[in-house]
Structure 1
Protein backbone atom coordinates (compact mmCIF):
# COMPACT_ATOMS: atom_id res chain seq x y z
CA UNK A 1 0.00 0.00 0.00
CA UNK A 2 1.37 3.41 -0.98
CA UNK A 3 0.15 6.41 1.00
CA UNK A 4 0.97 10.08 0.36
CA UNK A 5 0.72 12.47 3.31
CA UNK A 6 0.69 16.15 2.29
CA UNK A 7 2.80 18.10 4.79
CA UNK A 8 1.79 21.77 5.17
CA UNK A 9 2.86 24.28 7.80
CA UNK A 10 0.24 24.42 10.54
CA UNK A 11 -1.81 21.33 9.61
CA UNK A 12 0.81 18.61 9.17
CA UNK A 13 0.55 17.10 12.69
CA UNK A 14 -3.09 16.10 12.07
CA UNK A 15 -2.14 14.47 8.77
CA UNK A 16 0.71 12.51 10.33
CA UNK A 17 -1.52 11.45 13.24
CA UNK A 18 -4.13 10.25 10.72
CA UNK A 19 -1.46 8.20 8.94
CA UNK A 20 -0.38 6.68 12.26
CA UNK A 21 -3.99 5.78 13.08
CA UNK A 22 -5.23 4.59 9.67
CA UNK A 23 -2.28 3.32 7.64
CA UNK A 24 -1.19 -0.25 8.32
CA UNK A 25 2.39 -1.05 9.33
CA UNK A 26 4.45 -2.01 6.33
CA UNK A 27 2.72 0.46 4.02
CA UNK A 28 4.92 2.73 1.95
CA UNK A 29 4.38 6.21 3.41
CA UNK A 30 5.52 9.27 1.47
CA UNK A 31 5.65 12.57 3.32
CA UNK A 32 5.21 15.24 0.66
CA UNK A 33 5.97 18.96 0.90
CA UNK A 34 5.46 21.33 -2.01
CA UNK A 35 7.06 24.75 -2.20
CA UNK A 36 5.26 27.15 -4.52
CA UNK A 37 7.45 28.05 -7.48
CA UNK A 38 6.06 31.57 -7.71
CA UNK A 39 7.51 32.90 -4.43
CA UNK A 40 11.24 32.79 -5.31
CA UNK A 41 10.36 33.71 -8.88
CA UNK A 42 8.56 36.84 -7.72
CA UNK A 43 11.58 37.87 -5.65
CA UNK A 44 13.93 37.25 -8.61
CA UNK A 45 11.67 39.27 -10.91
CA UNK A 46 11.27 42.16 -8.50
CA UNK A 47 15.01 42.39 -7.99
CA UNK A 48 15.73 42.29 -11.72
CA UNK A 49 13.01 44.80 -12.51
CA UNK A 50 13.87 47.28 -9.80
CA UNK A 51 17.62 47.00 -9.51
CA UNK A 52 18.71 45.48 -12.78
CA UNK A 53 20.65 42.32 -13.36
CA UNK A 54 24.09 43.69 -12.54
CA UNK A 55 24.44 42.17 -9.05
CA UNK A 56 23.19 38.56 -8.99
CA UNK A 57 24.87 38.01 -5.61
CA UNK A 58 22.34 40.42 -4.07
CA UNK A 59 19.29 38.75 -5.65
CA UNK A 60 16.83 38.04 -2.78
CA UNK A 61 15.20 35.24 -4.78
CA UNK A 62 18.21 33.02 -4.12
CA UNK A 63 17.87 33.55 -0.38
CA UNK A 64 14.11 32.92 -0.54
CA UNK A 65 14.81 29.60 -2.32
CA UNK A 66 17.33 28.63 0.38
CA UNK A 67 14.92 29.53 3.19
CA UNK A 68 12.08 27.62 1.54
CA UNK A 69 14.24 24.52 1.14
CA UNK A 70 15.40 24.69 4.75
CA UNK A 71 11.83 25.15 5.99
CA UNK A 72 10.56 22.23 3.88
CA UNK A 73 13.40 20.04 5.10
CA UNK A 74 12.65 20.85 8.74
CA UNK A 75 8.91 20.21 8.30
CA UNK A 76 9.62 16.83 6.70
CA UNK A 77 12.09 15.94 9.47
CA UNK A 78 9.56 16.86 12.16
CA UNK A 79 6.81 14.94 10.36
CA UNK A 80 9.01 11.83 10.00
CA UNK A 81 9.87 11.94 13.70
CA UNK A 82 6.19 12.22 14.62
CA UNK A 83 5.28 9.38 12.26
CA UNK A 84 7.82 7.18 14.01
CA UNK A 85 8.36 4.64 11.24
CA UNK A 86 10.05 4.20 7.89
CA UNK A 87 8.94 6.70 5.28
CA UNK A 88 10.09 8.56 2.22
CA UNK A 89 10.44 12.34 2.35
CA UNK A 90 9.68 14.11 -0.91
CA UNK A 91 10.08 17.79 -1.72
CA UNK A 92 8.57 19.27 -4.86
CA UNK A 93 8.40 22.77 -6.26
CA UNK A 94 5.66 24.06 -8.53
CA UNK A 95 1.94 24.74 -8.51
CA UNK A 96 1.03 23.20 -5.19
CA UNK A 97 -2.30 21.63 -6.14
CA UNK A 98 -0.94 20.08 -9.32
CA UNK A 99 2.19 18.75 -7.64
CA UNK A 100 0.14 17.06 -4.90
CA UNK A 101 -2.20 15.46 -7.46
CA UNK A 102 0.80 14.29 -9.52
CA UNK A 103 2.49 12.85 -6.42
CA UNK A 104 -0.69 10.90 -5.60
CA UNK A 105 -0.68 9.11 -8.95
CA UNK A 106 -0.34 5.41 -8.23
CA UNK A 107 -0.99 5.86 -4.50
CA UNK A 108 -3.73 3.99 -2.73
CA UNK A 109 -4.48 6.85 -0.34
CA UNK A 110 -3.81 10.59 -0.04
CA UNK A 111 -4.04 12.26 3.37
CA UNK A 112 -4.56 16.01 3.65
CA UNK A 113 -6.04 18.48 6.12
CA UNK A 114 -8.73 21.08 5.79
CA UNK A 115 -7.13 24.50 5.37
CA UNK A 116 -9.98 26.97 4.89
CA UNK A 117 -12.55 28.28 7.37
CA UNK A 118 -12.36 25.66 10.09
CA UNK A 119 -14.96 27.29 12.33
CA UNK A 120 -17.87 25.83 10.31
CA UNK A 121 -18.66 22.56 8.64
CA UNK A 122 -19.02 22.88 4.91
CA UNK A 123 -17.24 23.50 1.64
CA UNK A 124 -15.48 26.66 2.81
CA UNK A 125 -13.39 24.51 5.15
CA UNK A 126 -11.24 23.77 2.11
CA UNK A 127 -8.93 26.36 0.62
CA UNK A 128 -8.56 26.61 -3.17
CA UNK A 129 -5.57 24.23 -3.43
CA UNK A 130 -7.18 21.60 -1.20
CA UNK A 131 -10.45 21.85 -3.12
CA UNK A 132 -8.58 21.24 -6.38
CA UNK A 133 -6.73 18.28 -4.85
CA UNK A 134 -9.90 16.68 -3.48
CA UNK A 135 -11.67 17.17 -6.81
CA UNK A 136 -8.79 15.80 -8.93
CA UNK A 137 -7.05 13.21 -6.75
CA UNK A 138 -6.41 9.98 -8.66
CA UNK A 139 -6.89 7.92 -5.49
CA UNK A 140 -9.05 7.82 -2.35
CA UNK A 141 -8.59 10.82 -0.06
CA UNK A 142 -8.60 10.95 3.74
CA UNK A 143 -9.54 14.53 4.63
CA UNK A 144 -8.86 15.41 8.27
CA UNK A 145 -9.60 18.32 10.57
CA UNK A 146 -6.38 19.80 12.00
CA UNK A 147 -8.21 20.29 15.28
CA UNK A 148 -11.53 19.13 16.70
CA UNK A 149 -14.23 19.45 14.06
CA UNK A 150 -16.92 22.07 14.68
CA UNK A 151 -20.35 20.80 15.72
CA UNK A 152 -23.10 20.02 13.25
CA UNK A 153 -24.91 23.19 14.34
CA UNK A 154 -22.32 25.06 12.24
CA UNK A 155 -23.61 23.60 8.98
CA UNK A 156 -24.70 26.55 6.84
CA UNK A 157 -28.43 26.95 6.42
CA UNK A 158 -29.75 25.74 3.09
CA UNK A 159 -30.61 28.33 0.47
CA UNK A 160 -34.30 29.08 0.10
CA UNK A 161 -36.00 27.01 -2.57
CA UNK A 162 -39.18 28.04 -4.38
CA UNK A 163 -42.16 25.84 -3.53
CA UNK A 164 -42.64 22.87 -5.83
CA UNK A 165 -45.73 23.00 -8.07
CA UNK A 166 -48.33 20.36 -7.30
CA UNK A 167 -48.06 17.10 -9.20
CA UNK A 168 -50.86 16.40 -11.68
CA UNK A 169 -51.83 12.95 -12.75
Structure 2
Protein backbone atom coordinates (compact mmCIF):
# COMPACT_ATOMS: atom_id res chain seq x y z
CA UNK A 1 0.00 0.00 0.00
CA UNK A 2 2.84 2.37 0.80
CA UNK A 3 4.24 2.65 -2.72
CA UNK A 4 0.83 3.32 -4.33
CA UNK A 5 -0.33 5.85 -1.76
CA UNK A 6 -1.66 9.16 -3.00
CA UNK A 7 1.03 11.07 -1.12
CA UNK A 8 3.85 8.98 -2.63
CA UNK A 9 2.45 9.36 -6.15
CA UNK A 10 1.93 13.11 -5.66
CA UNK A 11 5.49 13.42 -4.36
CA UNK A 12 6.84 11.59 -7.41
CA UNK A 13 4.59 13.64 -9.75
CA UNK A 14 5.97 16.84 -8.23
CA UNK A 15 9.56 15.73 -8.87
CA UNK A 16 8.70 15.33 -12.56
CA UNK A 17 6.66 18.57 -12.72
CA UNK A 18 9.74 20.81 -12.53
CA UNK A 19 7.94 24.13 -13.07
CA UNK A 20 5.10 23.28 -10.67
CA UNK A 21 2.33 24.06 -13.17
CA UNK A 22 0.38 20.86 -12.43
CA UNK A 23 1.37 18.99 -15.57
CA UNK A 24 4.40 17.27 -17.06
CA UNK A 25 5.77 18.16 -20.49
CA UNK A 26 7.80 15.78 -22.64
CA UNK A 27 11.02 17.54 -21.53
CA UNK A 28 10.03 17.15 -17.86
CA UNK A 29 9.17 13.49 -18.49
CA UNK A 30 12.60 12.90 -19.99
CA UNK A 31 14.30 14.62 -17.04
CA UNK A 32 12.16 12.73 -14.52
CA UNK A 33 12.95 9.40 -16.09
CA UNK A 34 16.67 10.25 -16.00
CA UNK A 35 16.37 11.14 -12.29
CA UNK A 36 14.76 7.74 -11.73
CA UNK A 37 17.69 6.06 -13.49
CA UNK A 38 15.72 5.37 -16.67
CA UNK A 39 17.63 7.17 -19.42
CA UNK A 40 15.50 7.82 -22.48
CA UNK A 41 17.78 9.23 -25.17
CA UNK A 42 15.76 7.99 -28.14
CA UNK A 43 13.33 10.79 -29.03
CA UNK A 44 11.04 8.45 -30.96
CA UNK A 45 10.78 6.17 -27.93
CA UNK A 46 10.12 9.14 -25.67
CA UNK A 47 7.42 10.44 -28.06
CA UNK A 48 5.76 7.02 -28.04
CA UNK A 49 5.84 6.88 -24.24
CA UNK A 50 4.34 10.36 -24.05
CA UNK A 51 1.50 9.31 -26.38
CA UNK A 52 0.80 6.28 -24.20
CA UNK A 53 0.74 8.25 -20.93
CA UNK A 54 -1.01 11.36 -22.28
CA UNK A 55 -4.37 9.70 -22.86
CA UNK A 56 -6.24 12.92 -23.63
CA UNK A 57 -3.65 14.00 -26.21
CA UNK A 58 -3.06 17.52 -24.87
CA UNK A 59 0.73 16.98 -24.87
CA UNK A 60 0.87 17.30 -21.08
CA UNK A 61 0.62 14.64 -18.39
CA UNK A 62 -1.78 15.52 -15.58
CA UNK A 63 -1.89 13.85 -12.16
CA UNK A 64 -4.51 11.27 -13.18
CA UNK A 65 -2.53 10.23 -16.26
CA UNK A 66 0.68 10.08 -14.22
CA UNK A 67 -1.06 7.96 -11.59
CA UNK A 68 -2.01 5.37 -14.23
CA UNK A 69 1.57 5.38 -15.54
CA UNK A 70 3.07 5.19 -12.05
CA UNK A 71 0.85 2.35 -10.92
CA UNK A 72 1.53 0.42 -14.10
CA UNK A 73 5.26 0.96 -14.60
CA UNK A 74 6.82 2.08 -11.35
CA UNK A 75 5.30 -0.33 -8.83
CA UNK A 76 5.93 -4.04 -8.58
CA UNK A 77 2.99 -5.48 -10.57
CA UNK A 78 2.30 -8.15 -7.95
CA UNK A 79 1.72 -5.56 -5.25
CA UNK A 80 -1.75 -4.39 -4.17
CA UNK A 81 -3.59 -6.44 -6.76
CA UNK A 82 -2.20 -4.38 -9.62
CA UNK A 83 -2.48 -6.52 -12.75
CA UNK A 84 0.64 -7.71 -14.47
CA UNK A 85 -1.08 -7.16 -17.83
CA UNK A 86 -0.56 -3.85 -19.59
CA UNK A 87 -3.08 -1.36 -18.20
CA UNK A 88 -3.27 0.48 -21.48
CA UNK A 89 -4.42 -2.69 -23.26
CA UNK A 90 -7.45 -2.93 -20.98
CA UNK A 91 -10.57 -1.88 -22.84
CA UNK A 92 -11.96 0.14 -19.91
CA UNK A 93 -11.88 3.88 -20.45
CA UNK A 94 -9.61 5.48 -17.88
CA UNK A 95 -11.15 8.78 -16.77
CA UNK A 96 -9.03 11.88 -17.33
CA UNK A 97 -8.27 14.47 -14.67
CA UNK A 98 -11.06 16.81 -15.81
CA UNK A 99 -13.64 14.04 -15.53
CA UNK A 100 -12.29 13.01 -12.15
CA UNK A 101 -12.44 16.60 -10.87
CA UNK A 102 -16.03 16.93 -12.07
CA UNK A 103 -17.04 13.66 -10.38
CA UNK A 104 -15.19 14.62 -7.21
CA UNK A 105 -16.86 18.05 -7.09
CA UNK A 106 -20.34 16.55 -7.46
CA UNK A 107 -19.77 14.38 -4.40
CA UNK A 108 -17.94 17.07 -2.39
CA UNK A 109 -21.20 18.91 -1.71
CA UNK A 110 -19.81 21.17 1.02
CA UNK A 111 -16.93 22.22 -1.24
CA UNK A 112 -14.23 21.70 1.39
CA UNK A 113 -11.94 19.75 -0.95
CA UNK A 114 -12.56 16.36 0.58
CA UNK A 115 -15.32 13.75 0.62
CA UNK A 116 -16.82 12.29 3.79
CA UNK A 117 -18.81 9.07 4.25
CA UNK A 118 -21.97 11.16 4.62
CA UNK A 119 -21.31 12.86 1.26
CA UNK A 120 -20.80 9.44 -0.35
CA UNK A 121 -24.09 8.18 1.08
CA UNK A 122 -25.90 11.33 -0.03
CA UNK A 123 -24.44 11.25 -3.55
CA UNK A 124 -25.09 7.56 -4.18
CA UNK A 125 -28.28 7.10 -2.18
CA UNK A 126 -27.11 4.21 -0.08
CA UNK A 127 -27.25 3.91 3.67
CA UNK A 128 -25.21 0.69 3.80
CA UNK A 129 -22.46 1.71 6.22
CA UNK A 130 -20.37 -1.41 5.56
CA UNK A 131 -20.21 -0.64 1.83
CA UNK A 132 -18.98 2.90 2.41
CA UNK A 133 -16.58 1.89 5.18
CA UNK A 134 -14.98 -0.59 2.76
CA UNK A 135 -14.61 2.15 0.15
CA UNK A 136 -13.10 4.45 2.79
CA UNK A 137 -10.54 1.73 3.65
CA UNK A 138 -9.54 1.67 0.00
CA UNK A 139 -9.48 5.43 -0.51
CA UNK A 140 -8.74 7.19 2.79
CA UNK A 141 -5.04 6.41 2.98
CA UNK A 142 -4.14 8.88 5.72
CA UNK A 143 -7.03 7.74 7.95
CA UNK A 144 -8.46 11.23 8.53
CA UNK A 145 -12.02 10.16 7.70
CA UNK A 146 -12.06 12.19 4.48
CA UNK A 147 -11.00 11.44 0.89
CA UNK A 148 -8.78 14.10 -0.66
CA UNK A 149 -8.70 14.57 -4.44
CA UNK A 150 -5.33 12.80 -4.70
CA UNK A 151 -6.66 9.87 -2.65
CA UNK A 152 -9.75 9.82 -4.88
CA UNK A 153 -7.67 9.66 -8.07
CA UNK A 154 -5.57 6.78 -6.74
CA UNK A 155 -8.69 4.91 -5.53
CA UNK A 156 -10.36 5.29 -8.93
CA UNK A 157 -7.26 3.94 -10.67
CA UNK A 158 -7.11 0.99 -8.26
CA UNK A 159 -10.76 0.24 -9.04
CA UNK A 160 -9.99 0.30 -12.77
CA UNK A 161 -7.18 -2.19 -12.17
CA UNK A 162 -9.35 -4.66 -10.28
CA UNK A 163 -10.53 -7.80 -12.03
TM range (shorter): under 0.3
Provide the TM-score with structure 2 as the length reference.
0.24
Structure showing greater relative contact order (alpha-carbon pairs closer than 8 Å, 6 or more residues apart): 1
Q: In terms of Rg, which structure is larger?
A: 1
Q: Give the structure with the higher percent strand.
A: 1
